[in-house]
Amino acid sequence: MSSIGDDIENLENFKIPEKIKKESKIMEKILNFYITLVGGFRISRGDSFFLRMFRKPMIEAIAQSTDMFNQKNQNLYYYGSLLYNYGKNVFYYKYASENVRAGKQKFFLPYKSNMKSIYSNICILKLFDENFIATIFQDINPKDVRIFIKNKNILDIFRKMFGKEISALVKKEKDDVGKDIYKQMASLLADGKGFLKTIQQNLTDEDIYHLKESVYNLDFRMGQSVSAALATKDIDLKHYYSDQVIL
């Protein structure tokens, strides 16, 4: 994105055209906004951008079936906390950005943020919803990761723990793969059957291929273990929260 090049020895004596300065500032704002808004929703297991771009129909179908407008009162507190953090991030980033652009060498962030000028709308909530759902489906992302393990004991332990389960899963038919992988998550939801039906309708052959690749990953195993742990707890999540918040 730079038009300066690597052949400039002394940048202080190099005059940058005003047009490039302006474009650089705009690009920096756009880039930082994207990173803050999209990347900062929550700590995900990977990159949800692929899913939000290329599997949008499935993400939207699940979001619509778990409509946030039907959520219970407790869920409003949950979304409220997300929007509160979002507002604080916007305020502090804006405050710091304005001071840096004003040329100040030193400044202090305020102890409290004044969020009177920070507003949220339904679009922000929709982005939150889609990001949560996309995070759950990280395992259908295309991947080219190879980890070489020198310690044979690690492979033996992995094989003993997951060998039979992996063998059974990779032999399943297309419709059964998604159902088997996401059944624990579905058991947490009030509309678990609808959740699985939407998945089965939208998973492509390529998605199934990537899912079968993922079953060998420790990351995938950890995700499955979390769903299983939640499903076996005595707390009935769907009694307190909507499906969207559980997701």
Alpha-carbon torsion (180, 211, 220, 153), positive or negative: positive
Longest dimension (CA), the chain: 69
Question: Would you kindly state where each structural domain of the chain is located, as residue ranges?
Answer: 17-247
Of residues 73 and 183, more confidently modeled: 183
Position 1 confidence tier, pLDDT thresholds 50, 70, 90: very low
| pTM for the whole structure | 0.64
pLDDT tens for each residue of 105-143: 787 877 776 665 555 566 777 777 788 888 888 888 887
- Both tokens of 33, joined, read 């906004």
Q: Report the pLDDT averaged over residues 153-172.
A: 88
State the Cα–Cα distance between residues 4 and 15, nearest whole angstrom. Answer: 10
- Both tokens of 120, joined, read 């949220």
Contact 71, 245 (CB under 8 A): yes
State the Cα–Cα distance between residues 109 and 106, nearest whole angstrom. Answer: 10
**pLDDT computed for residue 9 by the predictor:** 58
Contact 107, 99 (CB under 8 A): yes
Contact 135, 44 (CB under 8 A): yes
Contact 244, 60 (CB under 8 A): no
pLDDT tens for each residue of 2-52: 455 555 555 566 677 788 777 777 777 777 766 655 555 444 555 677 788
Q: Which residues are CB-neighbours of 242 under 8 A, at least 6 positions away?
A: 66, 68, 70, 71, 72, 75, 190
